[in-house]
Structure formats: C-alpha cells, structure tokens
Amino acid sequence: KPYTSARYVPQPDLLIVETRFKGRHDGAFLGVAPTGRAVDVPMTIFVSFAGGLMSGERFYWNLGTLVEQIGVKMPVALPAAA
C-alpha cells in the first residue's frame, strides 16, 4: 500500500516530515542475524534551514518497533556498542 508523507512548515526555517521507513531485514542489525522479515517503521524528521541552506536534520523513530518486527522479543538487552 503506498504511503504519502505528511509535511509541515511551522516556521520558515523548519520543515517537519512524517513518513515511514519500509524495507527488509537482509543484514545483521544490532547482533541479530538477517531474518528476511519486512519492516515498516514510522518516523518523524525535523529539517532546519539557515541562510537558505539546510543546516541540520534530526530523525525520530522507535527502536523497539523495529526489533519487534525482526522477531526480537522485548524487553531485550542490546549490545553495549549499540
């Protein structure tokens, strides 16, 4: 099913995008071997601008949503390097 991102411009120097990351778990992630499972993770992206140029970006998403979709039962202790 197609997903259209929602975009908001609350200030001239800020863009907020609500979107989804969709993909497949085809490589090791946080020590979890590839499962081939589909993932669909909602996220919000804040993009800031200064002088007409992009000056920064922040991505917010829930790690728990992703690891549950690849088959990790919560709660889980992640490796120290995570």
What is the predicted pLDDT for the residue at 14? 93
Residue-wise pLDDT for 49-76, tens only, equals 999 899 999 999 999 999 999 998 876 6
State the alpha helices, DSSP H only, in the chain. Answer: 63-69
pLDDT band at 44 (very low <50, low <70, confident <90, very high): very high
Looking from the CA of 55 toward its CB, the CA atoms found within 13 Å total 8
**Angstrom distance (rounded) from CA 7 to CA 17:** 5
Find, among 63, 21, 54, the residue nearest to 38 by Cα: 21
Q: What is the pLDDT of residue 24?
A: 95
Size of the chain in residues: 82
Q: What is the pLDDT of residue 65?
A: 93
Tell me the pTM: 0.74
**pLDDT tens per residue, range 14-38:** 999 999 999 999 999 988 999 999 9
Rounded Cα–Cα distance for residues 79 and 65 (Å): 17
